[in-house]
Amino acid sequence: MKKIFLALFIISVMSCNNIEDWYPTGDVGIESYRVYLNKDTEKKECLLNYKISNTGNVDISTTTFSLTIKTDKGSYATSEILEVTIQSGKSIINNKTIIFIEDTEFIENQDNIIINSIFLINRI
C-alpha cells in the first residue's frame, strides 16, 4: 500500500514540475500616455493607457502592479489592484490618471514610466 501512495505522490510531483503550467504569468505595459491641462481642475494630468496581457497557461484573476512616473521635477508612485479574469493568451486595456503637482512638469520619455507587477489566480 505504501508503494502505491509513493508512486502516486511521485507522479503528482512530476506532473507539476513545469511552473508555467500552473502559475499565472503576464505582462503590464504602457500602450500610450498623454500629458494635458485639465480645464476643470486647472491641474496638469497624465493619462496612461496600459495593457495587461496573460502570457501563461492559466487564467489570471487578479493583477497587482505598481507604477512610478518620473518627471523633470520628481516622481509619482501608485499601485493598482484589478480583480478581473484574463484568459490565457488574452489582454485587457485600462487607464489611470496621475495628477501632477506643478503645471510645468513633463515626462522626458516613456522609459521614465516603470511598472512592477504580480499576477494571481483563484483556486477553490
- Contact predicate 1/38, CB 8 Å: no
- Contact predicate 33/49, CB 8 Å: yes
CA angle 25, 31, 36 (to 5 degrees): 140
For residue 4, is it within any domain?
A: no
Is 13's pLDDT higher than 70? no
CATH of the domain at 32: 2.60.40
- Contact predicate 106/37, CB 8 Å: no
For residue 10, is it within any domain?
A: no
For residue 99, is it within any domain?
A: yes
The pLDDT tens digits of the residues spanning 19-46 come to: 666 788 899 999 999 999 999 999 999 9
Q: pTM of the prediction? A: 0.77
Instruction: Show the domain range for 33.
Output: 22-120
62-70: strand order across its sheet: 75-82, 62-70, 113-120
Q: Which of the residue ranges 17-26, 75-84, 99-108 would you say has the lowest mean pLDDT?
A: 17-26
